[in-house]
Amino acid sequence: MSSISWILEETTLPKLGFLGQGNHGYISLVRTPDGLLMAKKTSYRKYSENLEKESRILNHFNSIHFNIVRPTSPIVYDETMPLNVKVSSVYMELAPHGSLLDMIAKAGEILPEKVAGYCILQVLEGLRDLHRDGYVHCDLKAENILIFPSYTHGELCDLKLADFSLAKEPNGPNPVEPLFEGEPEYLAPEAVGPRGMISSAVDIWSLGVMVMQMLGAIITEGDRRTYFTGRLSPMVKDFLRRCIVHNPVARATAEELMSHPFVRQSIGVPPLEMLPVPSCLSNGGVQGRFF
């Protein structure tokens, strides 16, 4: 989409609403002159390297065949805001149904097990593709999983991975920024500290924590065993024990987990009323087409 005309007049795009807060920046809703609605992620210029990395990753996986958010422009933009504040921005497809965190909140903080399995299978598909190509997300949590309408027959929604500003690229250095700042429960034990080890196993630990959040479970340690409290089926507990393993080498891979009964049980497509809608879209005042 590098040839579309709005690229040259990027700063004129009207901001129609606030979509959320990201690492070192915020996400706003914008619209092009021809009516295309997009998400604009903006950060202070000093964090532009993170946005450059995110843009590289989004463009690497820019296809409808990946469970990864697609860019709507291939470049990072620099602009100067009022009071001479210098910022950088990237543009992405807009998620009309918000995030997985929004879905959990709308469901009363606990999702039905089959719905959780349906969602996690799509997250695993995204992780499989990332890990196959040598990337590690490094910031996997419910607010970074976005929900889109599905164009696949029989499916209601597609879930896609987002926010790659802390990601590790193939053969690249470990992320410099502290991982999971303020949310240490998502961080695998081997990744803690300045000499932390970052591998694809980090994402699998985070995935397990996210499943517990979706199902209202709590992890406890004792007698050299891990216990999960909450109304969990044996099948879910087995899935979690493959993710929440202190030895990263012993953790299951995304590809292995894709065949687990928890995500392969009778598909529980989320009912339409369970899908959230960002507040800036819910009142019907914003009109436009989606990417």
The residue among 11 and 78 whose pLDDT is bigger is: 78
| pLDDT over threshold 70, residue 37 | yes
Query: Any catalytic annotation for residue 139?
Result: yes
Residue of 102, 129, 139, 203 marked active site: 139
pLDDT of 10: 53
113 and 167 share a domain?
A: yes
The residue among 34 and 2 whose pLDDT is bigger is: 34
| Binding site residue list | 41
pLDDT of 212: 92
Average confidence (pLDDT) over 202-222: 87
The residue among 156 and 218 whose pLDDT is bigger is: 156
pLDDT of 220: 67
144 and 106 share a domain?
A: yes
CATH code of 32's domain:
3.30.200.20
d(CA 226, CA 242): 11
60 and 164 share a domain?
A: no
Among candidate residues 104, 107, 98, 189, the one with its CA nearest the CA of residue 144: 98
Strand residue runs (E) in the chain: 15-22, 25-31, 37-44, 77-81, 85-93, 145-149, 157-161, 218-222, 225-229
CATH code of 173's domain:
1.10.510.10
* Environment class of 196 (CB within 10 Å of its CB; exposed 0-12, middle 13-18, buried 19+): middle
Asked if residue 290 is part of any domain, the answer here is no
| Domain hosting residue 49, numbered range | 5-94
197 and 245 share a domain?
A: yes
12: pLDDT confidence band, cut at 50, 70 and 90? low
What total of structural domains would you count in the chain?
Answer: 2
| Binding site residue list for ATP | 41
254 and 131 share a domain?
A: yes
152 and 210 share a domain?
A: yes
Asked if residue 202 is part of any domain, the answer here is yes
